[in-house]
Amino acid sequence: MGAPILPFVQLDLTSRYGLAVGRYPVRPPGGADGEPIGVLVVEALDAPIGRPQRRRRARQKPLEADGAAPSVEISRLTVAWARPFEEELDAGAWLAGVEKDPEALDREVADGVRVINRALHAQRAAAQDSFVPDVSPERALAVRVGYGNGDALAGGEFSKALEVPPSEKRERRVDALRPQERVARALGGHDSVSAHETHLLRARADFDAGRLREAVVELDAAVRALAAAPRSPSVEEDEDLATLEGESQALAQAAHGKTMTEDELERMLRVAERVVRRRRILGG
């Protein structure tokens, strides 16, 4: 029998992130004794442009104005799922169905990104390098969902795939928040990033990556900082803040070990995000 035909999610990224090239079996968190649910394939593409040599303090050389060529390092991260198709016709039918269902396509991408971010989270902790970031589909050079022969996928090749475009919903939200204006104000000393915003962003990143314990701790800090921040004159904000205040004790208990469901956590996270987003749109 030949290698199985497997579904996959693949991201091309403009960094190596410290991950060693290779294949990594993936099991559910805490499921070391179970069967793998997939494999993460890490490749370093041979596409550096003008890669600089390691700099040495003793012999630094000046560069000409046009002599600093950009340096590009590309990683290709492929998550192949252990869900083999009986034959290629079945794989093609699955991919056609995903193509017609934007929500199903988003779920496939989100599941793959969650595995990749599990690897990056481990790399960040193992290397004690706080600058190893999580990744998102919007920051990738390319995002693909498709299927391929298991052996070929181990080398980054595939039979057929969809190129996934950036989320239009996210782009509309970014446009509404006018980030360029705030960046200019922050650099000009007229604005700053509040503590509740930083904690809330970290809570969202942890939640989306499946790190629920970390998300609870960050959201607890965000809600407490948000409660202490100046309020905007808005009936909607008063209602949202009242919701957060009413559940703040449960959140604080969860941050110290008490159980909170994923749905409860996401609901509070969405309310807090709505408060911050409304303030930014209204200029508060």
pLDDT in tens, 116-136: 999 999 999 999 999 999 999
Segment among 4-8, 53-57, 159-163, 226-230 with least mean pLDDT:
53-57
Task: State the pLDDT at residue 60.
Answer: 55
Helix axes 262-282, 195-208, angle to 10 degrees: 140
Q: Quick one: pLDDT at residue 232?
A: 75
Q: Residue 51 CB: number of other CB atoms within 10 A?
A: 11
Look up residue 10 and give its amino acid: Q
pLDDT of amino acid 168? 59
Look-up: residue for tokens 């390092």? 73
pLDDT for residue 178: 73
Structure tokens at 154: 């181990």
- pLDDT above 70 covers what percent of the chain? 85
Per-residue pLDDT band for 61 (boundaries 50, 70, 90) equals low
Q: Please tell me whether residue 31 adopts helix, strand or coil conformation.
A: coil
Neighbours of 118 (CB within 10 A): 18
pLDDT tens per residue, range 66-91: 555 566 788 999 999 999 999 999 99
CA distance 246 to 250: 9
Virtual torsion, Cα 27, 2, 152, 84, nearest 10 deg: -40
Q: DSSP state, 25?
A: E
Closest to 119 in 3D by CA, of 213, 22, 8: 22
Q: 24-38, 63-77, 197-211: which has the highest mean pLDDT?
A: 197-211
Distances in Å between the alpha carbon of 77 and those of 26, 31, 37, 129, 197?
13, 22, 16, 20, 30
DSSP state of 234: -
Q: CA of 239: how far to CAs of 201, 235, 263, 281, in Å? A: 22, 6, 20, 18
Which spans in 140-261 are helix H? 150-153, 168-177, 179-187, 195-208, 212-228, 235-255
pLDDT of residue 1: 54
Q: Does the structure show a pLDDT above 80 at 198?
A: yes
As a whole number, mean pLDDT of residues 149-175 equals: 77
Residue (of 123, 84, 126, 103) closest to 209 by Cα position: 123
Phi-psi region of 20 (alpha: psi -120 to 50; beta: other; left: phi over 0): beta
- pLDDT, greater one: 89 or 174: 89
Helix or strand run (H / E) with residue 87: none
Q: Rounded to an integer, what distance in angstroms lies between the CA atom of residue 17 and that of residue 171?
A: 26
The angle subtended at Cα 262 by Cα 256 and Cα 264, nearest 5°, is 80
Give the residue with greater pLDDT, 281 vs 60: 281
Q: Phi and psi (nearest 5°) for 87? A: -155, 170
Burial 258-267 (b: 16+ CB within 10 A, else e): eebeeeebbe
Cα 39 to the chain's mean position, in Å? 18
Contact call for residues 130 and 149 (beta carbons, < 8 A): no
